[in-house]
Structures are given as structure tokens and as C-alpha cells.
Amino acid sequence: MSIDDAIKGRRSVRTYKSDEIKEGLVRECIEAATFAPSAKNGQQWRFTVLTGESKDKFTDMYRNELGKLTFDVGSSFGSCTMMEEAPVVIVVWNTNERGWTTEVHSVSAAIQNLLLKAHSLGLGTCWIGDIFYTYEAIMDYFKKPWKLLAAITVGWTDVNPGPRPRLSVDEVAEFLN
Ligand SMILES: Cc1cc2nc3c(=O)[nH]c(=O)nc-3n(C[C@H](O)[C@H](O)[C@H](O)COP(=O)(O)O)c2cc1C
């Protein structure tokens, strides 16, 4: 797959088949993530891959914690359903060793690599930030010494969502002489 096909063809996929994903494919995606640039080559990314029972326990906890919140949680219940349906959920952590904002950038770059690699393998993914609604509960659940950064759903899919609108180059860039 060409770099343009990967970048422009990737979509957030929110409907998955229940078919299993071989661990080797998930490893390939994570390996691609590890080739991202990182602040001071700190490689601040860490990944917890959830499948089967570990995923079910996590999504049960997440749904339960969302239910306790009394404010608007946006699309969170939809994101929860997505995680319940996807055969693989990857929780992404930032080791945050230095407390630098740039460490967040490193891990975000790794996530983009992961999404692109998954797409090249024919897998659908979605980057999920809605987990931040229950940040403390998730931190408490996993008891990792890192900071939660995102979750990613991964799964085979039948759907092929169209492209979301994008701002043009002229709308987002200025060229100064
Ligand atoms: C930081 C971040 C957080 C996101 N959180 C969610 C989420 O919680 N739930 C969801 O369905 N999509 C989430 N998305 C996916 C975006 O909605 C999606 O990338 C955007 O609409 C553009 O669509 P595309 O990915 O198909 O190009 C998130 C994306 C990013 C980068």
C-alpha cells in the first residue's frame, strides 16, 4: 500500500465483525507504532492489549463508571459499545517520565503509525478519547505507573466509511517568504 493510500484511505471504523485477530497482526501494528519519532527518543509509549475476558472486564468497568456520571458524557456509551464489539482493544499509555508535553506528542505519533499499519493490513481501527471521562477509574483499574493516553479499537470490518470533511491546505497553512 502506498503512503498516500494509507494516509488518505484510513478511516475511523466503528462497526466490527467478531472474527478473531491473530496476535501476530496486533504485534505488527505495535511494532509499527514503535517506529514513530519520540521526544529525546524516549519511546514513551506503552500498550495493554485486551482481548476476550480481559476486554470484557474492562468494558464492564467502563460502562459501569460511565453510568455513575451525572454530566453529559457525549459519545462515550457509543464508544463503549464499540469496545465491546471490537475483538481487540489496545489501551495506550504515556510513561510520562519527564512530565513533558512532548511525551504526549510521541505517543500520539505512535498511535497514528499503529492506525496506518492496521489499515494496511485490512483492519479497521478507532482512536478513542472518550475513556478520559473515567480517567481516574481506569487508572485505578490497571494500577500502571504511567498516564492513560487513549484506547484503540481494532477489528475486521465490512463497512467502508466515506471520508470525513477536511480543511484544505490553504485553510490550514500559511506560506511565508
Ligand atoms: C484524540 C482523538 C480522540 C478521539 N476520540 C474518539 C472517541 O472517543 N470516539 C469515537 O468514536 N471517535 C473518536 N475519535 C475519532 C474521530 O472522531 C475521527 O478521527 C474524526 O472524526 C475524523 O474521522 P476519520 O478518522 O475517519 O478521518 C478520536 C480521534 C482522536 C484523534
135-142 and 52-68 are packed helices; what angle lies between their axes, rounded to 10 degrees? 140
77 lines ligand 1 (CB under 6 A): no
Query: What would the pLDDT profile of 121-175 be if each residue is shown by its tens digit?
Result: 999 999 999 999 999 999 999 999 999 999 999 999 999 899 999 999 999 999 9
The pLDDT score that the predictor gives to residue 36 is: 98
C-alpha cell at 114: 499503529
Rounded average pLDDT over 90-95: 98
Model confidence over 68-77: pLDDT tens digits? Answer: 999 999 999 9
Residue spans of the domains in the chain: they are 14-157
Which pLDDT belongs to residue 173?
98
Q: What is the 8-class DSSP label of residue 148?
A: E
Residue of minimum CA distance from atom 7 in ligand 1: 128
pLDDT at 110: 98
C-alpha cell at 156: 475486521
- Our mutation pick for probing the ligand 1 site, out of 90, 128, 167, counting the most ligand atoms within 8 A of Cβ, is 128
Q: For residue 67, give the amino acid letter.
A: G
The predicted-structure confidence for 111-121, as pLDDT tens digits, reads as follows: 999 999 999 99
- Superfamily per CATH, domain 14-157: NADH Oxidase (3.40.109.10)
Question: Mean of the pLDDT values across residues 2-6?
Answer: 95
For residue 20, name the pLDDT band (cuts at 50, 70, 90): very high
Give me the phi and psi of 141, to 5 degrees please.
-65, -45
Predicted TM-score (pTM) of this structure = 0.98
What is the dihedral sign for C-alpha 49, 51, 56, 57? Answer: negative
